[in-house]
Structure 1
Amino acid sequence: MKLGLQRNDVVLGIDVGTQSTKCVVLDAAGQPRGSGQAGYDVELPRPHWAEQAPETWWQAATNAVRQALRAANVSPGQVQGIGLAGQMHGVVVLGHDLNPLRPAIIWMDRRSANLCETILARLMPEDVTTIAGNQLSPGFAGASLAWLREAEPDTLDRARVVLQPKDYLVLRLTGEISSDVSDASATWLYDIAQRCWSETLANACGVPLDILPPVYGSGDVVGKLHPQPAESLGLRAGIPVVAGAADQAALLLGIGVVEPGRGSIALGTGGQMTIVSAHPRIDPELRLNTFCHAVPGLWYTMGAILNGGIALRWWRDVISPSRDTTYPELLAEAAVVPAGSEGLLFVPYLEGERTPHMDPDASGAFVGLTARHQRGHMTRAVLEGVAYAFRDCLLVLQDTGPLPDHFLIGGGGAQGTLWRQILADVLGVSLQTVRGTEHTAQGAALLAGLGADVFYDLPQAVAHAVDYGSSELPDPAERAVYDTGFDRFRALYPALRTVRPDGLG
């Protein structure tokens, strides 16, 4: 805590998610005091479209902040700073009056799929690798804006600025147009190595550079809270507001992955395996995503799987449509099955797969099923299949540089010991949990604390705020079993491609 501040001072972290906006109140000792949350829907007006009205984020933020302040029992005068995090890749197009010209196109939108190859054909392959550092996928801002240029040219012609979701809330709070390095680097319009907008990429996507916002460091103060939004939030005017961070970068802050060589695993609906570095670790085959970290001078490289906790949820719903069977019951049955599930394998590609296959049409399967296999075997095979998918990520990350000998792990799927131990055994690395749940909003609050001088520096903030839990170490005997299982697992993706339905080969 810095001189001149009071021990009862707090900062706010606001996380603009896909299904809800959350707010966390963090005190000057880095401890959470209270939280709030308000939900909303994703609009799906046509096949492959996914949109949200930016006003719904604002209304949810006002509700979440007021809930959090009540839960923390703090007064408006105690709040010293506000930081934001948000869903990545989205497109919020604002006119000259700074009001939205249309609903926001969000990350899960796929309407631009048929344009990605056209955009890539306008570029040299080395431009994609060295400038963007990422494969162009539907849902990235560059692709969505290219769709607008083709389908709604008048919208872009009338645009004053294009923002990311959390940047729209920064504008509502302060009246200032801004983005931060972590969100900008995930638009596919940004030079991730030079940290500036790329005219080459913007031209390929048909995006004028003058509608892209100024880019700040994530902890930089962009402006101060204006009186009208302050009244809506139940706060005082004049509170510093920082630029904030993309949700994945804020999550890394919230779990303490802030130094080169540190790694994390997030096991939620999907899953991410991330390593932080002092230079961009770009996979030449672009099977990974590399973005700027919220920590100055750092990057993070991420392998992503689409089927993490969702695979276990699918299996539970298949065998128990009424959901009478609980997750603890399933995990208890799986725990007594030996490693390797007695030869049963599960390919978890229920929603396609990203790293390493980058294949939206990949599909799942149980392989090796016999009459001796029971429900517990199948549940354990699901857990092991997801772990094998993470091992695929680990191997691709290894191609780009050294690996950590341990990873921090979080997310809803990481709460149970069994799945964490299976992951440790399959990956051959130790895993350490991070206590708490709202790590992304907490990361945004840490940025607010830095911008408002509540904390001296990021290491001090992390040391106060991050609460580490238990560790799982790999078992050499189980590891040997899983090495054999992984060799079989890797053979299944190409084999399953040969038996896909017509049109999906």
Structure 2
Amino acid sequence: MTASGQLDRETRARVRGIGLSGQMHGAVVLDAAHVPIRPAILWNDGRAVAECAEMAECVPHIGQLTGAPPMPGFTAPKLLWLSRREPRTHARIAHVLLPKDYVGLRLHGECVTDPSDAAGSGWLDQATRAWSSEICAISATDAAWLPDVRPGTDIAGTLRPEAADALGLARGIPVATGAGDAAAGAVGLGACDAGDGFLSLGTSGQLFVTTTDYRPNPDSLVHAYAHTLEGRYFQMAAMLNGARPMAWLAGLLNRPVAALLDEAASAEPGPLFLPYLTGERTPHGDTTIRGGFAMLGETTTHGSLMRGVVEAIAFTFADAVAALEAAGTSPGTLLCVGGGARSDLLVQMIADVTGCPIGRGDGAEVGPALGAARLALCAAEGAESADVLAKPAITRVFEPRADPSGRVAKRLAAFRALYPALRSVQQLA
């Protein structure tokens, strides 16, 4: 790398393959010439509430079929929404891709996706890993618009000359199908075998456990999806807010996140916080709920506000563990990944409230990028490799601490009471 962070010419010449990862659920709609016909609708768009309800009514077993009940962020309800709100745009659609797969199209020229990103679209029959004609029919989607589904380690195509020249890379190098960000994070952490799990602390949050079989339980609002690797599935609790509320508060107070975390570490428990700034999936499935502080007082400080935010993020993972347990999976030791994994305070709080030991390794904040690189290497070598998909060395384990006074349990109970209370207030406002 050069000082500016750019790959130098010698390094570019050594690149053997390209892997892809990206945010899931987005809708990139293209015409017959592969030109986008409107801005992409992203994972956190919550407009398709009515469409989700209609899809669930049309196919009562939809959650068992697709691994989760319809949610507004998923791709399939977005297409139904488009058919009604933007019919002229909908009439021009010839292809629908997930965001990372549009990048792939520009690199290699093929419309291809992997099982994990396909799983998050809401169109995939998870058990067969094929597009469901039944779900396509109720979501105003022509199955012919959808990309081929190939394992993440497969070669989706080779680098086109114009893309190679623009990037300064060799022409014709393989481009792996790749994975959605959650599954790519799993590959980056070596969470590829039954029971392997991790938690992701990015803009959104996930609690992810690999399984060898398909285990849907839509009532728990856990996502049961095909893994990007053949013969594997996963269960995932998905939280829309992740570690993002820490950056939100820092921006609101115009102070660095690190300084606020230092103050939070020494602050006494004070305000409670509901972190649902953009709604929530697991465990509420509520796109309209918003966040809020409770129990503010004259002694409230910036540090105690941040402590409340960190505590609330940890509590969402306690809810996630409860949802996974309701779906038949009890997580053991978990690895952590994402930018929020750099905070000792946050990771220790999550260990305390979930009762799960949490391991952190070097480079934990770049899990999905490492996963994409590993998938690229597998594609270039023509096979999965246990060495390539190995787990990272753990540099620290955060063990759950005892709660003899029951204070943590009481705070968690208060946090869980806050959602229905704020929900009832919001309905009056």
Report the TM-score when normalising by structure 2: 0.91
Q: Which residue of 1 aligns with 2:257?
A: 327
Structure 2 Cα separation of the partners of residues 193 and 358 of structure 1: 23
Task: Give the gaps of 5 or more residues in structure 2.
Answer: none
Matched ranges for 1:51-450 at <5 A? 68-70=6-8, 73-76=10-13, 78-123=14-59, 125-126=60-61, 128-318=62-252, 320-321=253-254, 323=255, 326-338=256-268, 341=269, 344-371=271-298, 374-436=301-363, 437-450=365-378
**Alpha-carbon distance, 1:479 to partner:** 8.3
Using the TM superposition, give the Cα deviation of residue 356 of structure 1 relative to its aligned residue in structure 2, in angstroms: 0.8
Q: Does 1:452 align with 2:380?
A: yes
Partner Cα separation in structure 2 for residue 500 and residue 450 of structure 1: 50
Paired residue type of 1:74: T
Would you say the 8 A contact 2:212–2:232 is kept in 1? yes
The superposition leaves residues 455-488 of structure 1 with CA deviations (integer Å, 9 ceiling, x where unpaired) of x63421033x834321111111368431222222
In structure 1, what is the Cα distance between the partners aligned to 2:40 and 2:272? Answer: 41
**Structure 1 CA distance for aligned equivalents of residues 184 and 362 of structure 2:** 16
Shift of the 120–35 alpha-carbon distance from structure 1 to 2, 3 Å rule, reads farther
Partners of 2:220 and 2:324 within 8 A in 1: no
Equivalent in 486, 492, 496 of residue 412 of structure 2: 486
Q: For residues 166 and 347 of structure 1, do their structure 2 counterparts lie closer, same or farther at Cα, with a shift above 3 Å needed? A: closer
Deviation at 1:332, TM superposition (A): 2.8
Aligned 8 A contact 1:425 1:479 in 2: no
Partner Cα separation in structure 2 for residue 264 and residue 255 of structure 1: 8
The CA deviation string for residues 34-78 of structure 1, in whole angstroms up to 9 with x for no partner, is 899xxxxxxxxxxxxxxxxxxxxxxxxxxxxxx6432x84142x2
Judged with a 3 Å threshold, the aligned counterparts in structure 2 of structure 1 residues 193 and 233 are, in CA distance, closer, same or farther, namely same
SS of structure 1 residue aligned to 2:24:
coil
Q: How far did residue 328 of structure 1 move?
A: 3.5
Quick check: 1:502 aligned with 2:425?
Answer: no
Q: Kindly tell me the number of residue pairs found equivalent between the two proteins.
A: 428
RMSD: 2.6
**Shift in CA distance, 253/169, structure 1 to aligned 2, threshold 3 Å:** same
1:109 CA displacement: 3.0
Q: Which amino acid aligns with 2:261?
A: L
- How far apart in 1 are the matches of 2:47 and 2:87? 15
Alpha-carbon separation, structure 2, partners of 1:397 and 1:276 = 12
Deviation digits for residues 145-177 of structure 1, max 9, x if unmatched?
Answer: 112323444544444322222222222222222
Q: Give the Å deviation of 1:392.
A: 0.8
Answer with 426-435 or 299-308: which moved more.
299-308
Deviation at 1:80, TM superposition (A): 1.7
CA shift for structure 1 position 203: 0.4
1:304 aligned partner, one-letter code: A
Distance in 1 of aligned mates of 2:225 and 2:204? 19
Kindly tell me: are residues 257 and 493 of structure 1, through their superposed partners in 2, closer, same or farther at Cα, counting changes over 3 Å?
same
Cα 1:435–1:117 shift into 2, 3 Å: same
Conserved? CA contact 1:352–1:362, under 8 Å: yes
- Asked if structure 2 preserves the Cα contact closer than 8 Å seen for 1:129 and 1:286, the reply is no
Q: Is the 8 A contact 1:145 1:207 kept in 2?
A: yes
Q: For the Cα contact (< 8 Å) 2:31–2:95, is it kept in 1?
A: yes
CA-to-aligned-CA distance 1:407-433 (integer Å, 9 cap, x gap): 101222221212211111111111111
Q: Which amino acid aligns with 1:452?
A: A
* More divergent stretch after superposition (178-187 vs 302-311): 302-311
Task: Determine what percentage of the aligned residue pairs are the same residue.
Answer: 37
Structure 2 residue matching 1:80: 3-state secondary structure: coil
Q: Pick closer, same or farther for the CA change 1:158–1:459 going to 2, 3 Å.
A: same
Q: CA contact under 8 A between 1:429 and 1:473: conserved in structure 2?
A: yes
- Does the 8 Å contact 1:278/1:298 carry over to 2? yes
1:325-350 CA deviation, whole Å, 9 max, x = no partner?
x3333333332345xx1x64333233
Secondary structure in 1 matching 2:11? coil
Contact 1:83 1:243 in 2 (8 A): yes
The structure whose Rg is larger is: 1
Give the SS at the match of 1:396.
Answer: helix
Shift in CA distance, 350/243, structure 1 to aligned 2, threshold 3 Å = closer
Deviation at 1:397?
0.7
